[in-house]
Structure formats: C-alpha cells, structure tokens
Amino acid sequence: MEYYGNRLCISARELVDGGIMSVPNYKAMSNRGRIDVVRRGGGAAGQYALVAVDSLPRDYKAKVQALYPDGDLTHLKGWVCSNYETDQAAVVFFHDKSKTGVELPQDKIHEYVVNASVLNCCIRLYERAATAQKLFGGKYNWEQMAKAIEALREEYGHTLPASTLRFRKKVNEYKRDGYGCLISGKFGNQSARKVDYRTERLILSLAVLPNKPYNSTTHDNYLSFVCGELDVFDLKTGELFNPNDWTDPKTGEPKELSESTICNYLNKPANKVLIEQSLTSWTTFMHEQMPHMHRHGGNFSLSQITMDDVDLTRKLRDTKQRVHAYYAYDVVSQCVVGASYARKKDEGLVVDCFRDMFRLIDKMGWGMPAGIEVENHLMSQYKDGFLQAGTAFPFVRFCAPQNSQEKYAEPLNGAKKRSVIHKNHEGIGRFYGKGKWRQEYKKVSDETNELYEDKEYFSWEQLVEEDRRDSYEWNHQLHPNQKKFPGMTRWDVLCECVNPTLQPLDKLTLARYIGERVDTSIRRNSTVKVCYEDWWLSDTSVLEKLRPNDYKVTAYWLPDEEGKPTGVFIFQGDKYIDQVEKVKTYNRVMAEQTEKDTVNYIEQRKKIAKFSKYVKDHAIDKVGILKPSETPVQAEAVMLKPQVTDETPVASRWSPDPIADI
C-alpha cells in the first residue's frame, strides 16, 4: 500500500496476488467504474496501477484491512510527513538562554525543535475537522495518531511518548505552556540552578548601588556578602538579608559565583534594561532605552504649529552671552512662520514669537491655525487662558517636560542648524560632536579654570539679522519630501497647501491674550486715546455697554513690526465693549487740503452725523408737573415757554455749531 494523491492506495497486483479479487473481476469493476483507479498501469516507465482503498466495496475493503492491519496508518503518516516543517520560532526559543533559563546542548536543542514541529502537525490536524474526518473515518482518533507518530520516530528522531494517554497529555501541555514544557526537568529545575531567581535579583540589587559599581565590584560585594563580611538589607522594608540563605544545600558552603557568571547575568538584555532604569536619570532612560511613539506627517499647512526655544551658537560682544530665540514652525511645510529674540528667556520672548507668527498670517490672509504643540516650561501659564483648547486654537498639546522627542520643533531646529546655519557661519557645532560637527574651545588658564576663549563675538543686530536670513533660506529650500511635494519649496507648501477648514483669524482673542494693553477712557462720548492717537467708537450705542458713571476702559491691540497698534479692542473689566477705528485727521488749512483730507473730513462728518441721529432718536420726551396747590391755569402758564424748532433762526439757538469747535 502507498500514499498517492492524498489517498491511501493499493496496487492492482496486490489485489489479485493477495486473493482479494480475480483478474476478470478487477477488469469488470474497473470498466464499470465501481472502483477508482487513480493511476493506470503500463507505459514506458513500467508503472503499476493503483486503486484507491476508500473506493472499494465494503467486503473487499474488509479483506484489504485483514491483509494489511496497519495499512490505514499509511494515509495518516503520509499526511504528517507532507505537513511537517521545522518550527523556526522553536529554534529561536531554545537557543535563547534568557527564555530557557539555561544554556541547552545542541543535541537537546535539535531534539526539542523536532518534538515541537511534530506536535504542531498533530495540533494542526486536530483543528481541521474535515481533514480528521477523512483520515480517521470519524472524529479525531488519539490512538491512531499516537501510533502514526510512533511509527515516525526513526524517520524524524523525536522523543515524544509512545503511550496514547501520555502523548495526549503532552499535546495538551504543549498547547497550554508552549515550548518550555518540552525541556527536561533536569534543565528547568530551579533548585538545580546555581543562580536561581533570588540569587539573580540579589546580583542585580548589588549592581545598582548609588556609586554605580563595575561588574568586578559587584562580584566582590557578592562574595563579601555570602562570606558574612558585608551586610545587605532591603531599603523598603529594612530587612537584613541572611547569608545562610545563599549556601549550597548539599555542602553547606557559601554559593560561590565566578565573575564571568555575574557578568553574564548583568548583561542579559532583560536585566540591562532594569539596570539602566535604576542607574540613569529619567530623561536619559527615556531618550535611550524607552520605546517611542511612531507618527507620520499631515497633508495641509497650518493644521498644526510646533514651537520651541533655542540659543544661538555665537555670543554677544557686550555680555558674552548667547541670544535666546523662539521659533514657530508649521509642521507640514516645516517653514519658520514666527521668530523672536531676547536676552532673557521669559514670557516676553514667547509673546513676541506669537505676535510675529500672527502678523505673517494676517498679512497673507490665512486663517487661524487648527492646532499647536508647545512645551511646558514657558507655556504652562497659558494653560487656562490663551492656550486652553477652544480659546484660540481648536487643538492644543502640551508636550511632556524634558521630552524633546515629542516636539517636532526639536528635530527641525537641528536640521536647520546643520543644513543652513553651519553652511553660512563659522563656529557652529558641538564640543562633543563628531567630525566637522565638532567645535573645540581653548580654555583660559586663570584662577577660576572655567573660562574659554571664543573665536569671535558679535553685535545683537548682526546676530538677529543673520538668523532671520538663515530662516528665510531654510523656508525657500526644497521640501525634503519631494515624493509628496515634487518641485515645491517649504514656502510653496505653506502657501499652496493651506488647510481649507481653518477658521478666520480671531484678532479679538489674540489682542486680548498676547497683545499690548493700556488703560484709557472714553472722551466726548466718541473717542479713546491709544498710543498718543485718537480712536473712534464704532457707534454711539456702544455707550450703552458701559457701567454707570464709568468711562474708564482698557484697550488691547496687536502691534505691527514697528510696534504701532493695529486692530484696537476696548474692554471694561472682562466685558468686551467695542473695536475702535483710528481717527484720520484732515488739514485745517483749506488751501493745502488734498483729496485724502477731503475723504477724512467726510468720514468725520459721518461719525458726528451718526452721533446726532442717535441723540435725536433717543431724545427724552418732555413732561409737565402739577403741584396740588396749583390751578390748571397756573400750570398752563408754566408750560408756555419759548420752544426751539427747525424754523427758529440759527442766531437765536442755544447750541453752537459742533463743527466750529473741532
């Protein structure tokens, strides 16, 4: 019998020679299709005919089973052989000392890998009900499976149990516990290990002492402890460790470990992570050991702004200090959209950067950026105000303190410094940098031994001007993602890929939180004075918003590049009152008036006309009063007073022409 085309077959010669059927009987059944001849005999190769056993009638099939009692295993063995493949994950597992707990010999690794691969076939067949039905003639048969696996022992060299129950138990242990259940107890027994779990934890504790001992020192401390020369205690509980707990149970001698053994355990990857976490600072461990978030870029400019500070490398001539700069980048285009400079890293530096960014946005006619990511150091004071989500920006993210990986501005600062600033100026780099990024400074030999000689110092104006030129060059370089933005510079991406869902620029909120302010008052029911200039109220009805007998207001505005106010808004306390307009004067000398003066004159006349209309529309109705002692005739005499009407001559009116006083 043999396996052919996934079916158990018997040759036609064996059917005849075995006395199962005669030649005429075979030919008749074959011609009538009562049996399935899966391969015809004859031909140049001299092949013999094969008949599928499962196609034989019941009586003939019984004779075949009597002639070949184990013939049904052929099909099962063939399926296992065709589905057997080396488990590569098992190869990795049994070679990994940190997972097995012990270094396994190569012959044992091979044995365990074969066992795992065979068991994988058994489990795969168990999970395929249709295949099991075909192979076993019903449900999964553990006895037949165990016999088939046993028959393959010599072929594969596995060491799985021959007993059906033990084999079945091993399969279930493997499904539950994985590769570890295949390791012999003599390898996995912790009591037989010289370095058990408790000893390993002691070694790690001795390796993370505050003085950061070397591995050799850790080995010396361990030997001193087990010999009673060094006391070790738990800092949390105060428990004093007993050296007798680290003795060989057979000899009673202290458990001696070589320096190489301790080094091996300290260098295990899982242990090295724990050691680094204990010995390094939080920021160092976070930047060098901890996993980090993986992100991808957006599609539209002004969808998010990222901000961060930086110190210009070159120093000032007057103070020998560095200029502090603050940058605002657009995340998608990587453009510098705002920059500010100061001698101190304080609130003013941040506010100036915001102002510079919004001046550009206002000039270009763009909308309010949809989101922003900022640091905690200088921005925390705005959490409940300007940088509260929904106040100015719909989306606001405060990055974790000292986590430079989170802010996208950090790598952009570095890229700009390496690609543009280093190319344009001398002395750009790091004292610990490598190659051409390394900058060395000569130390001054004085009593402090802390000063260094710098090659050159610069003025404030020169440093700021050159940095702005560097930012301009950075903005107009090709965007690094040319696959996404072919042929476009960073500035092109910023201008042409603006997010279409941006809200209009909210100048009121910006002026309120990051603008200049001054206390002033409303004069003559029409103007306020801001920066030595008069500003019109938008309408006389604004007076209705003021508190009783209180004309004092606070004016807020965003300054332009020259520091002059633009878009002035007035508040009374926290209540918004009005956006005022600058009073545009005209030349009082008529002979020198221009067209601009005429336009300004007309605009002022309109303001005064609106004021007059408001007063007329809201004029108080006259009433008469009548005392109880007065007669109606006396009351009428009181009411008979001259009335001023539109027909009354101008000279007889009490009010002068208001224009004459301007």
Q: Are residues 181 and 282 in the same domain?
A: no
Torsion angle (degrees, nearest 10) of CA 628, 633, 635, 638: -150
Q: Give the pLDDT confidence score for residue 305 in this predicted structure.
A: 95
The H-or-E segment that residue 559 falls in is strand 552-559
Q: Are residues 376 and 227 in the same domain?
A: no
* Mean per-residue pLDDT, 212-226: 91
Q: Are residues 441 and 319 in the same domain?
A: yes
**Which residue is it, tokens 């005999």?**
41
Confirm whether 658 is domain-assigned: no
Whether residue 323 has pLDDT greater than 80: yes
> End of a domain among 461, 496, 531?
496
Give the separation between CA 162 and CA 185, rounded to whole angstroms: 19
CB–CB of 526/611 below 8 Å? yes
* Mean per-residue pLDDT, 391-403: 86
3-state secondary structure 249-312: CCCCCECCCCHHHHHHHHCCHHHHHHHHHHHCCHHHHHHHCCCCCCCCCCCCECCCEEEEEEEE
Give 333's DSSP letter: T
Q: Which of 267, 347, 268, 336 is nearest to 306 (CA)?
A: 336
Q: Which of 55, 66, 54, 52 is nearest to 20 (CA)?
A: 66
Q: Max Cα separation, the chain?
A: 155
Confirm whether 592 is domain-assigned: no
pLDDT in tens, 169-216: 788 888 888 888 888 766 654 444 567 888 889 999 999 999 999 999
Among 37-51, 128-142, 215-229, which range has the highest average pLDDT? 215-229
Give 636's DSSP letter: H
Token pair recorded at residue 236: 């949390």
Q: Are residues 369 and 460 in the same domain?
A: yes
Q: Are residues 152 and 201 in the same domain?
A: no
Q: Give the pLDDT confidence score for residue 76 in this predicted structure.
A: 64
At residue 262's C-alpha, the angle toward residues 260 and 268, to 5°, is 100
Among the residue ranges 133-137, 467-471, 485-489, 606-610, the one predicted with the least confidence is 133-137
Q: Are residues 140 and 231 in the same domain?
A: no
159: left (phi over 0), alpha (psi -120 to 50) or beta: alpha
SS3 556: strand
More confident: 131 or 272: 272
Neighbours of 229 (CB within 10 A): 11
* Mean per-residue pLDDT, 563-577: 92
Q: Are residues 320 and 462 in the same domain?
A: yes
pLDDT in tens, 108-137: 888 889 888 888 877 776 666 555 555 554
> End of a domain among 546, 565, 583?
583
Neighbours of 113 (CB within 10 A): 23
Give the separation between CA 332 and CA 298, rounded to whole angstroms: 6
Contact residues for 312 (Cβ-Cβ < 8 A; gap 6+): 322, 323, 324, 325, 463, 467
Confirm whether 444 is domain-assigned: yes
Q: Are residues 90 and 6 in the same domain?
A: no
* Mean per-residue pLDDT, 294-322: 90
Give the separation between CA 12 and CA 23, rounded to whole angstroms: 9
Q: Are residues 319 and 454 in the same domain?
A: yes
Confirm whether 130 is domain-assigned: yes
pLDDT in tens, 359-388: 999 999 999 999 999 988 788 888 888 898
Give 590's DSSP letter: G
Number of domains in the chain: 5
Q: Give the pLDDT confidence score for residue 275 in this predicted structure.
A: 92
- In terms of C-beta density within 10 A (0-12 exposed, 13-18 middle, 19 or more buried), how is residue 264 classed? middle
Contact residues for 405 (Cβ-Cβ < 8 A; gap 6+): 286, 287, 292, 293
**Which residue is it, tokens 């490598």?**
434
Whether residue 411 has pLDDT greater than 60: yes
Per-position DSSP letters for 368-416, written without gaps between them: B-SEEEE-STTTGGGTTTTTSTTTS-SEEEEPPTT-TTT-THHHHHHHH
Residue 375 to residues 215, 291, 298, 325, 350, Cα–Cα distance (Å): 39, 21, 21, 14, 11
Q: What percent of the chain has pLDDT over 90?
A: 41
Confirm whether 45 is domain-assigned: yes
Give the separation between CA 436 and CA 441, rounded to whole angstroms: 14
For the chain, give the mean pLDDT. Answer: 84
Looking at residue 453, its amino acid is: E
Token pair recorded at residue 2: 């043999």
CATH of the domain at 41: 1.10.10
Token pair recorded at residue 200: 């390993």
Give the separation between CA 1 and CA 50, rounded to whole angstroms: 9
CATH of the domain at 360: 3.30.420
Q: Which of 497, 563, 551 is nearest to 525 (CA)?
A: 551
Rg (CA), the chain: 46
> End of a domain among 496, 530, 548?
496
Q: Are residues 345 and 467 in the same domain?
A: yes
Residue 73 to residues 309, 372, 385, Cα–Cα distance (Å): 76, 70, 79
Give the separation between CA 637 and CA 356, rounded to whole angstroms: 70
* Mean per-residue pLDDT, 635-655: 50
Contact residues for 404 (Cβ-Cβ < 8 A; gap 6+): 287, 410
Q: Are residues 337 and 480 in the same domain?
A: yes
Q: Which of 288, 266, 333 is nearest to 491 (CA)?
A: 333
What's the distance, Cα to Cα, between the start and end of the chain in Å?
A: 123
Confirm whether 214 is domain-assigned: yes
CB–CB of 183/91 below 8 Å? no
- pTM above the 0.75 mark? no
Query: Which residue segment(s) compose the domain that 39 sits in?
Result: 2-69
**Which residue is it, tokens 């470990």?**
257
Q: Give the pLDDT confidence score for residue 173 in this predicted structure.
A: 82
CB–CB of 339/309 below 8 Å? no
Among the residue ranges 2-16, 51-65, 516-530, 617-631, the one predicted with the least confidence is 2-16
Confirm whether 64 is domain-assigned: yes
Q: Are residues 362 and 463 in the same domain?
A: yes
Residue 651 to residues 405, 616, 644, Cα–Cα distance (Å): 80, 21, 12
Give the separation between CA 411 and CA 424, rounded to whole angstroms: 19
Confirm whether 327 is domain-assigned: yes
Q: Give the pLDDT confidence score for residue 190 in this predicted structure.
A: 45
CB–CB of 431/441 below 8 Å? yes
